[in-house]
A and B are shown apart, each in its own frame.
Chain A
Amino acid sequence: MTRFLALLVRNRLAAAGGIILFCVLVLTLITPFLPLQDPDVTATANRFLRPFSPGHLLGTDHLGRDLLSRLLWGTRLSLAVGIAAAVLAAVIGSAIGITAGYFGGRTDNIIMRLVDMLMAFPYILLALAIVAALGPGLMNALIAVAAVNIPFFARNIRGITVGLAGQEFVDAARLGGLGHTRIILTELLPNVIPVIVIAMSTTVGWMILETAGLSFLGLGSQPPQADLGSMLGEARSALITSPHTSVIPGLMIFIIVMSINLLGDGVRDALDPRLRSGALSRPRAATLVERQGEIPAASDDLLAIQELETQFHVGQRTYRAVNQVSLSVRPGECLGVIGESGSGKSVTALSVMGLVASPPGVITGGAVRFRGDDLVGMPYEQLRQKRGDRVAYIFQDPLSTLHPLYRTGDQLAEAIRSHHRIDKAQARARAIDLFKAVRIPNAESRIDNYPHEMSGGMRQRVGIAMALANEPDVIIADEPTTALDVTVQAQILTLLDELRRERGLAIIFITHDFGVVGQLCDRVAVMYAGRIIEEGPTGAVLAAPAHPYTKRLIACVPELGEGRRKLAAIPGLPPAVDRLPAGCAFAERCDKAQEACRTGDISLSGTAPRTVRCLFPEEAMP
Chain B
Amino acid sequence: MTALKVDNLSKTFPLGRPFFGKAHPGVRAVRPISFSVRTGETLGIVGESGCGKSTFARMLVGLLSPSTGTIEIEGRALDNADPAAFGRLIQYVFQDPISSLNPRKTIRQIMEVPLKRLHGLGKAERHVRIREIFSQVNLREEFLDRYPHEFSGGQAQRIGIARALAAAPRIMVLDEPVSALDVSVQAQVLNLLAELKQQYELTYLFISHDLAVVEAVSERVIVLYFGSVVEIGDAETIFNAPKHPYTRLLAQSAPIVGRPLTAPEQKDNELPDPLNPPAGCAFAGRCLRASDLCRHQEPQLSSMENGQFAACHHPIED
Contact = CB atoms under 8 A, between A and B. Distances in A.
B239 A176 contact: no
A568 B186 CA distance: 10
B185 interface: yes
Question: Which 7 A-B residue pairs are closest in the complex by CB-CB distance?
Answer: A515-B255, A177-B117, A518-B257, A569-B187, A176-B113, A168-B100, A485-B48
Nearest to A193: B104
Nearest to A495: B263
Given A514-B257, A560-B254, A175 B100 contact: no
A456 interface: yes
B216 interface: yes
28 contacts: A168-B95, A173-B113, A175-B61, A175-B92, A179-B84, A340-B183, A341-B182, A455-B271, A486-B48, A486-B250, A487-B249, A494-B261, A514-B257, A515-B256, A515-B257, A518-B258, A520-B261, A559-B257, A560-B211, A560-B212, A563-B215, A563-B216, A564-B235, A564-B236, A565-B216, A566-B191, A569-B185, A573-B152
Interface string B110-141: 00011001100000000000000000000000
Contacts of B185: 569, 573
**Contact count band on B:** 35 or more
Interface string A511-525: 011111011100000
A171 B94 contact: yes
Interface string A547-563: 00000110011111111
A123 to B, nearest CB: 33
Interface string A54-79: 00000000000000000000000000
Contacts of B154: 573
Given A564-B216, A571-B188, A557 B183 contact: yes
B184 A570 contact: yes
A174 to B, nearest CB: 4
B215 A558 contact: yes
B63 interface: yes
A487 B266 CA distance: 10
Interface string B172-214: 0000000000111111101100100000000000000111110
A487 B48 contact: yes
Nearest to A169: B102
A175 B167 contact: yes
B167, B190, B255, B258 interface centre (most CB from chain A within 10 Å): B255
A62 to B, nearest CB: 55
A486 B264 CA distance: 11
B236 A191 contact: no
B184 A569 contact: yes
Contacts of A171: 58, 63, 83, 92, 94, 100
Contacts of B271: 455
Interface of A: 167-169, 171-179, 182, 186-187, 190-191, 340-341, 441, 455-458, 485-491, 493-495, 497, 512-516, 518-520, 542, 552-553, 556-571, 573
B99 interface: yes
A497 B261 CA distance: 8
Given A168-B94, A177-B117, A487-B264, A567 B191 contact: yes
A489 B114 contact: no
B49 interface: yes
Contacts of B63: 171, 174-175
B95, B160, B188 interface centre (most CB from chain A within 10 Å): B188
Interface in B21-49: 48-49
B227 interface: no
Contacts of A168: 94-96, 99-100
Contacts of B211: 486, 560
